[in-house]
């Protein structure tokens, strides 16, 4: 993008905000106006609430919004994945029905992909979609569904054809979560939080026009959603605060952020809280223990080299050079860092690491680190899947010989469930 374009965009958005922004609006009222202008999602198509601007211009627009304290469209949560998927694969009917209410924040969404029987092997989903009369009927179970209890709509991956290979028989639906055939139960985690849900379908109904693409295209559509999930994962969590200004619209926005981000409140602990280590070691005096010092140094080395490796990847990207292998390592490395951090926090904390909650250091933060870190090497693609990705895509090693992709899915062995 040339300077001129950036300057033009900046001037345009600034002029529009000067003419239109007023903190006296209600949240939905303001966003409705904003969406019509195209400044709420400038990189989206003109036809659908955007301005056809390059993604890089979003930063310029965001700066101008921040400058005057203007509230933006609803951005956090699964709704952004829904929007990206619908924009890429949806019909005009889908776009008309869903996109506006995604941006205003009136609708919230959830992602119904993982199942108890298929986590890493997501294409092995066995939730059934059967055609009965003029409707799809859904039966089965999903899991790890963030915010399902609040969601209006779900992005559902289900099996519609059992006579073809596993990737070929999937369909992708938009499912109305507020119907009798859908039951949502919280799933309590080992750290005591319940950020996710189990979702049970008993003859849940989907109208035929709510299928995205066709039977057999489900995996391709799901790949789009997952790609945006990986790409946006960090952005989603860094956007964790509303403005601290006073006024009704800000309060409404803060309430929305608080609700959306509630499931993620333990995520900093999940990553190991390396930031606390030196201070805690000084407090407890363990900073003088030569063995603990070695472990702290190991952690700092991991954490710093992880940061620098990510910076190398970003520098390559910014200079328009092909990214080297360093770009694919971040997820795996973050697991190593988190695990070492939990080890170090244990050494530093000593007997107090036996406790949790108010009896424990930092009102339970340290205890929460110790029991949250195991999630890091599982969520968003296990360490094992990351290693497969690195070895196949970066190191060009052959895929493990598969035994389930060249036969009808109904003949593929499934979990042995003991009674």
> Which stretches of the chain bind other proteins, using CB under 8 A?
278, 290, 293-294, 296-298, 300-302, 304-306, 308-309, 311-312, 314-316, 319, 324-326, 329, 332-333, 336, 384, 386-388, 390-392, 394-395, 397-401
Count of CA atoms in the C-beta half-sphere (13 A) of 296:
20
Question: What's the min distance (Å) between Cβ of 401 and other proteins?
Answer: 6
Residue with Cβ nearer other proteins (79 or 336): 336
Quick one: which of 243, 359, 345 has its CA closest to 284? 345
Write the DSSP string, 209-263: GGEES-TT-HHHHHHHHHHHHHHHHHHHHH--------SHHHHHHHHHHHHHHGG
Q: What tokens were used for 333? A: 């490395």
Residue with Cβ nearer other proteins (310 or 362): 310
Q: What's the Cα-to-Cα distance from 313 to each of 319, 322, 324, 377, 392, rounded to whole Å?
A: 10, 9, 7, 21, 19
Question: What's the min distance (Å) between Cβ of 124 and other proteins?
Answer: 17
CB 109 within 8 A of CB 155: yes
Question: Where are the alpha helices (H) located in 41-91, listed in sequence order?
Answer: 58-68, 79-89
Count of CA atoms in the C-beta half-sphere (13 A) of 265:
12
Residue with Cβ nearer other proteins (178 or 399): 399
Question: What's the min distance (Å) between Cβ of 295 and other proteins?
Answer: 9
Quick one: which of 366, 364, 379 has its CA closest to 334? 379
Residue 222 Cα to chain centre, angstroms: 13
Question: What's the min distance (Å) between Cβ of 291 and other proteins?
Answer: 10
Question: What's the min distance (Å) between Cβ of 297 and other proteins?
Answer: 4
Residue with Cβ nearer other proteins (114 or 391): 391
CB 173 within 8 A of CB 184: no
Q: What tokens were used for 44? A: 């989206």
Question: What's the min distance (Å) between Cβ of 338 and other proteins?
Answer: 14
Residue 225 Cα to chain centre, angstroms: 10
Residue with Cβ nearer other proteins (185 or 311): 311
Residue with Cβ nearer other proteins (141 or 391): 391
Question: What's the min distance (Å) between Cβ of 321 and other proteins?
Answer: 8
Residue with Cβ nearer other proteins (295 or 368): 295
Question: What's the min distance (Å) between Cβ of 155 and other proteins?
Answer: 30
Residue with Cβ nearer other proteins (26 or 324): 324
Q: CA-CA distance, 266 to 407, in Å (whole number)? A: 42
Torsions phi, psi for 188 (to 5 deg): -80, 135
């Amino acid at each position: 993008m040339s300077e001129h374009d950036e300057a033009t965009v900046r001037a345009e958005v600034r002029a529009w905000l000067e003419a239109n922004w007023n903190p006296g609006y209600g949240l939905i009222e303001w966003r409705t106006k904003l969406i019509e202008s195209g400044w709420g999602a400038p990189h989206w198509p003109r036809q659908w609430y955007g301005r056809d601007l390059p993604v890089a211009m979003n930063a310029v627009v965001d700066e101008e919004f921040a400058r005057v304290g203007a509230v933006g469209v609803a951005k956090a949560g699964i709704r952004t994945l829904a929007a990206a998927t619908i924009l890429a694969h949806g019909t005009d009917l889908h776009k008309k029905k869903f996109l506006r209410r995604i941006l205003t924040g009136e609708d919230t969404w959830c992602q119904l992909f993982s199942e108890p029987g298929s986590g890493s092997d997501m294409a092995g989903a066995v939730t059934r979609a059967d055609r009965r009369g003029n409707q799809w009927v859904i039966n089965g179970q999903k899991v790890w569904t963030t915010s399902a209890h609040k969601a209006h709509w779900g992005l559902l991956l289900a099996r519609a054809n059992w006579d073809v290979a596993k990737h070929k028989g999937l369909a992708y639906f938009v499912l109305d979560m507020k119907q009798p055939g859908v039951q949502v139960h919280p799933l309590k985690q080992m750290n005591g939080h319940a950020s996710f849900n189990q979702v049970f379908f008993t003859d849940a109904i989907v109208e035929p026009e709510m299928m995205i693409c066709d039977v057999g295209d489900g995996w391709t559509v799901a790949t789009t959603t997952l790609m945006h999930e990986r790409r946006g994962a960090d952005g989603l969590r860094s956007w964790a605060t509303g403005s601290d200004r006073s006024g009704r619209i800000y309060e409404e926005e803060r309430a929305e952020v608080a609700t959306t981000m509630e499931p993620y409140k333990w995520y900093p602990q999940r990553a190991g809280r390396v930031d606390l280590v030196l201070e805690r070691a000084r407090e407890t005096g363990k900073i003088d223990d030569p063995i603990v010092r070695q472990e702290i140094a190991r952690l700092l080395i991991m954490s710093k080299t992880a940061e620098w490796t990510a910076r190398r990847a970003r520098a390559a990207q910014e200079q328009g050079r092909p990214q080297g292998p360093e770009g694919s390592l971040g997820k795996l490395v973050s697991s190593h860092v988190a695990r070492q951090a939990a080890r170090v926090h244990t050494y530093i904390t000593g007997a107090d690491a036996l406790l949790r909650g108010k009896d424990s250091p930092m009102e339970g933060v340290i205890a929460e680190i110790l029991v949250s870190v195991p999630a890091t090497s599982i969520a968003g693609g296990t360490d094992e899947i990351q290693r497969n990705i690195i070895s196949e895509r970066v190191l060009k090693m052959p895929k493990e010989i598969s035994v389930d992709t060249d036969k009808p899915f109904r003949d593929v062995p499934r979990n042995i469930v003991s009674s």
